[in-house]
Structure 1
Amino acid sequence: MSDYVITEQHSQQSFTCHQDEFVLKAMESNGLRSIAVGCRGGGCGVCRVKVISGSYECGRMSKAQVSTEQQQQGYALACRLKPTSDLLIECSPSPLAINGITGVTKAKQKHTEVIK
Structure 2
Amino acid sequence: MAPLLIRVLNVDQPFRCGTDETVLRALAPIHHDRIGSGCHGGGCGVCRIRVLQGDYVVGCMSRAHVSIEEEASGLTLACRTWPRSDLAVEPVGKLPARLMRRFRLLPPIDDDRVQSPDDREK
Question: Aligned equivalents of 2:73 and 2:36: distance in 1?
Answer: 20
Question: Aligned equivalents of 1:55 and 1:63: distance in 2?
Answer: 21
Identity of aligned residues (%): 40
Tell me how far 1:35 sits from its aligned partner. 1.5
Structure 2 counterpart of 1:8: 8
Gapped regions of structure 2 (runs ≥ 5): 103-108, 115-122
Structure 1 counterpart of 2:23: 23
Whichever residue aligns with residue 53 of structure 1, its letter is Q
1:90 is aligned to 2:94: no
Structure 2 counterpart of 1:56: 56
> RMSD across aligned C-alpha pairs, in angstroms?
2.4
Tell me how far 1:2 sits from its aligned partner. 4.2
Q: TM-score, normalised by structure 1?
A: 0.78
Whichever residue aligns with residue 97 of structure 2, its letter is N
Tell me how far 1:101 sits from its aligned partner. 4.4
Structure showing greater Rg: 2
Deviation per CA, 1:50-92, whole angstroms, max 9, x where unpaired? 0000000000010000000000000000000000000000000
